Structure 1
Amino acid sequence: MTPAEYQALTSPKLSHPARSLYQLYLQHQARGDQTQALDYPVLGKALAVQGEGEYRYRVTPAILTQLIEELLAVGLLSLVENPHPQHYHGAIFSLPLKRLQGLSPLPARQFAMHPQWRPDDQFEGLARLCGLLDSHIDETELGEFIAYWLGRPEVFENQHQWMLKLVRKLKNQRSIKRAPAPQTDAGYQQLPAKTDSGPSKRAQQMMAEAQRLNADNQEDCASDEKDS
């Protein structure tokens, strides 16, 4: 099985019967990278599940057509010849992903987090690839990461995926660090200096009114002295 086939077979779009049809029959019986002409009765019998004289799972022609269309949708099959447009009985398919050899190794087995987990020697390169230039991690950061995922034993990832989660955690932690506020030499936060903007507009109006009234009173006093 090539890595491309493995990736397509693990697609959530595929049902388990579709995976079984590809792995146990179409791939196994293929001639090179092409299937033999499909025989619906033979396929139905191969996929059927029988127990104590009766079928617990029976594959009808309609179900077979649906399973083949699932495999077409994820790229595991490509139609070469089909004498019956309504179904795929007698059709021949190519297996395009079977030709894609050597693209990458198959993904490692997935596992739950455990106390002895450590990133491997690929971690620095992965961190740099993800934009984390400082890939140093101390025991506190690593311990927090392991402790968090120990509490979620239902999560299974392979080694590469666990290291990618760790890189993302470090990036998030280090990106939220803010620059410290400006401080004085004494270490206290420096507050903006108050500026002397002078009397407010309202105060200036009141002062002008008081000066006007004072001037009027002086004029009245002068008039009274002349009259007397």
Structure 2
Amino acid sequence: MTPAEYQALTSPKLSHPARSLYQLYLQHQARGDQTQALDYPVLGKALAVQGDGGYRYRVTPATLTELIDELLAVGLLSLLENPHPQHYHGAVFSLPLKRLQGLVALPSRQFAMHPQWRPDAQFDGLARLCGLLDSHIDETELGEFIAYWLGRPEVFENQHQWMLKLVRKLKNQRSIKRVSAPQPDAGYQQLPAKADSGPSKRAQQMMAEALRLNADTPHVNKQEDCGSDEKDS
């Protein structure tokens, strides 16, 4: 049984006899995802419940038609051939939900959180479906999640529901981090220019040396000395 079939079978719109008809006969006797031609007398016998001295439950042809209408309404059946428009005796149906594989297997039994719990291989797909594109989990995030629910042993969920809780926690945490984080360009902003504090120490030394040379050798061309200093700097 696929998850899609399970979801349809648990619909409150479906009666118990209709569920039994699908699970115990139509699905079981199907060839692949297509039923055999429906035989009302055989279906009636399959659904009948015998009791002491007779039948405790029996279905009429009209009731069978109503049960099949229920299955059609929730999508478990799709009509392919029907030689008699007034009823479905001899009709052939497809089972569209039988070939529709869901995200996860049938819901497993519920259990309380335990220290060894881990999300399974379906987690990435579930996260993307819920809008969490980065489904990576580090040990700190997982440990916090497990520790939180270990403190609530009265909560029982199945594997799928625990993974949903983890996805919601991650989405909430990462949303908060994005809001509180600095803007992406903050680390690349140009620093304000430093105020001009005058020539550097090296430049001052060079200028002092040039003045000394000028004083010692009056014939030296000052413009050429400045040009030389510019190259050294």
Q: If the TM-score is normalised by the length of the shorter chain, which range does it land in?
A: 0.5 to 0.7
SS of 2:36's equivalent in the other structure is coil
- Tell me the percent identity: 92
Q: Single out whichever of 30-39 and 162-171 deviates more from structure 2.
A: 30-39
Q: How far apart, in 2, do the equivalents of 1:91 and 1:133 lie?
A: 46
Which secondary structure does the structure 1 equivalent of 2:88 belong to?
coil
Kept after mapping to 1: 8 A contact 2:49/2:56: yes
Paired residues of 2:48 and 2:59 also in contact (CA < 8 A): yes
- Structure 1 residues 4-13 or 62-71, which shifts more? 4-13
2-side partners of 1:199 and 1:149: how far apart?
66
Q: Is the 8 A contact 2:112 2:157 kept in 1?
A: yes
Greater mean deviation of Cα atoms: 210-219 or 51-60:
210-219
Distance 1:141 1:49, change over 3 A: farther
* Residues 225/120 of structure 1: CA separation in 2 closer, same or farther (3 Å cut): closer
Compute the TM-score of the two structures, normalised by the length of structure 1.
0.55
**What is the Cα deviation at residue 219 of structure 1?**
82
Please report how far the alpha carbon of residue 227 of structure 1 lies from its aligned counterpart in structure 2 after TM superposition. 93
Q: What is the aligned partner in structure 1 of residue 194 from structure 2?
A: 194
Q: Counterpart of 1:69?
A: 69
Partners of 1:182 and 1:190 within 8 A in 2 = no
CA separation in 2, counterparts of 1:25 and 1:224? 102
Q: Which moved more, 1:47-56 or 1:3-12?
A: 3-12
Counterpart CA distance in 1 for 2:174 and 2:229 is 83
Deviations 1:12-58 (A, max 9, x none): 43333222211211222334543333232321221122233343333
- Give distance in 2, aligned partners of 1:177 and 1:220: 60
Q: Quote the residue 1:106 is aligned against.
A: 106
Distance change >3 Å, CA 226–CA 153, structure 1 → 2: closer
Indicate the larger mover: 191-200 or 135-144: 191-200
- CA separation in 2, counterparts of 1:120 and 1:111? 15
Q: Is the 8 A contact 1:26 1:35 kept in 2?
A: yes
2:219 corresponds to: none
Q: Gaps spanning 5+ residues in structure 1: where?
A: none
Cα distance, 1:173–1:27 mapped onto 2, change above 3 Å:
same
Asked whether the 8 Å contact 1:181–1:189 carries over to 2, the reply is no
Distance 1:19 1:190, change over 3 A: same
Most deviating of 191-200 and 65-74: 191-200
Distance 2:158 2:174 in 1: 25
Distance 1:58-1:151 versus aligned 2 partners, 3 A rule: farther
Higher deviation after alignment, 189-198 or 125-134: 189-198
Alpha-carbon distance between aligned partners in 1 of 2:227 and 2:132, rounded to the nearest angstrom:
87
Shift of residue 9 of structure 1?
A: 3.3
- Per-residue CA deviation, residues 91-131 of structure 1 (Å, 9 max, x unaligned), is 22233344557987555555454565343466567556645
- State the superposition RMSD in angstroms: 13.7
Q: CA deviation at 1:88?
A: 1.9
The answer (yes or no) to whether the contact 1:2–1:98 under 8 Å persists in 2 is: yes
Instruction: Decide whether aligned partners of structure 1 residues 83 and 123 sit closer, same or farther in structure 2, where only a CA change above 3 A counts.
Output: closer
Greater Cα offset, 112-121 or 66-75: 112-121
1:41 & 1:213 partners in 2: Cα distance?
Answer: 125
Distance 1:8 1:194, change over 3 A: farther
- More deviation in 186-195 or 4-13? 186-195
Select which of 223, 227, 232 maps to 1:227: 232
Question: Which residues of structure 2 form unaligned runs of 5+?
Answer: 217-221
Which residue of 1 is the match for residue 181 of structure 2? Answer: 181
